[in-house]
Structure 1
Amino acid sequence: MLFGIMSLDKNFRCTTDASQVVGRFAPSPTGALHFGSLVTAVGSYCLAKSAGGLWLLRMEDLDGPRVVPGAADEILHTLEALTLHWDGEVLYQSRRTACYEAALERLREDGHIFPCACSRKEVLASAPHRGEEGPIYAGTCRNGLPVGREARAWRMRVPHRSVGFCDCLSGEYRQCLASEVGDFVLRRADGLFAYQLAVVVDDAESGVTQVVRGADLLSSTPRQIYLHQCLGYPLPCYAHLPLVMTPDGEKVSKRHGTVSLDSSGGGRLIWKALRFLGQAVPAELLNASPAEVLSWGAKYFDGTKVPKVQC
């Protein structure tokens, strides 16, 4: 069974009952913005604003041990300097534990999750095979905890069926959760909530209708669609942007350098991000202000020109 396929109009808006497009940018404050994350910010901003929508900002600071002190404020400063102004208040995941607790309890009551006693080592040893993102859970605790064992984590019980969607920019993508992902963790052994649950709850409760992000998160989307379905949330539209790569084929990350607002001006950075996304931004805007370049992007951004991601 395939579900979750969504259609779009010519302006890359979901053909749902939503009266307004609501996009978002959700950086993790594990360091300052790098060019790859700037591309995502610019792409998500322009796709939302070109449809007359809102653009929200969320700090995905749920994984406390990985958060760098001061990084969130630095990200906000950089976005403001680039005139990437967000609508409403910034949402911090670290302040939303009660919301994730409530969603997990709903899933438990409906039988969608189960406690798991397996350690990482045990999961690796018993995995029948590996999927895109690691070993497939063997289902050891699916029908109850082994005698004498206590729960370490909570896992999502996934169906033996295909979950798919139509990426706004690149076309159809589908995945069999059981054979390609397995029962995935929603609450870890250390008590922290998993990204998959938090992002679904946040998007739904913020009214997000358009999720624009990097292609590295493409394979997460079927899991999130399934969670949306189980929690009774409306589905947003998804668009995955091409990743910025180093010359040796590695994804650009914070360790490759961060966005520098030097004498070259922020407008040049916005211009380069738009060009990377296939937009025909005029050469005469190369030295314009960030606001001028973004204004052009919000008015003329063409989703059909964005390089397609391999689905």
Structure 2
Amino acid sequence: MKSGFVSVVGRANVGKSTLMEKILGEKISIISNKPQTTRDEIKIIYNDENSQIIFLDTPGIQTPRNKLQEHLLEVSEESLKDSDIVTFIVDNSLSIGRLDKMILKLLEKVNRPKVLLINKCDLLDEGEIDQIKKTYIGLNMFDYIIPISALNDENIDKYIEIIKEMLDEGPLYYPSDMITDKNERFIVSEIIREKALQSLNNEIPHGIFVRIDDFKKRENKNLYDIYATIIVERTTHKEIVIGKNGQKIKTIGMKARPEIETFMDSKINLKLWVKVEKDWRKKQKLVTRFGYK
């Protein structure tokens, strides 16, 4: 049995969560066209007949500007220490940008085998892929460099096979039918947050937290009552989330409901509210209270 932990790091919006979804075949991590959507280390558990790979999907690394972002950077750095293999994902940029250089400095301190994935290779020609590969080969840091397209499922199987080759024999860390370490309440809150991010303008890019207030299955019915509060940082943001005549929050609920029902394999009664916690991302007490410890 091959088994072990693989941290997945990269700057925001390079496709980490999309890669995890393709590997797992299930949607666990939040996926949005807005960067900095993943806020927790989410263990994605891949099982097959002769291996168990636990991927540590981490928040996108960036220069922290508030208490929440400081927490996210700590989560990503800790995952590097906890892993057997490090996967660094970059996109189709032809040069190494400022944040990628910052991540590379972190990786220099980590004595682990490393794999580089060049994502979005479907947007590159062969010459451009070779150019990016040569740039990173020159760093003498990576054991493997693999061009992939997470969106188009290109070279994902090759990546999995290489990880299995690199891992040592080990135990089954989790039951073979388990796909993540996160509970249902967490996944549901992430689905709601994703739909909110997708439905809102850039005026409220990241100051949203979804708190599950109640999560109960009705007796003798395949039906869950789920009550959740969308927390924002300003009164003006609350007005935007609610929308004219309540249309925006209604849209968020309508988009979230079918996806939650598919995930839960059950009908759901979803009720949403909006509350203001002024500048919560800057306040350590609130960041901690919301579970970012």
- TM-score scaled by length of structure 1: 0.29
Under a length normalisation based on structure 2, what TM-score does the superposition of the two structures give?
Answer: 0.30
Choose between structure 1 and 2 for higher RCO, CA contacts under 8 A separated by at least 6 residues: 1
Q: Which has the higher strand share?
A: 2
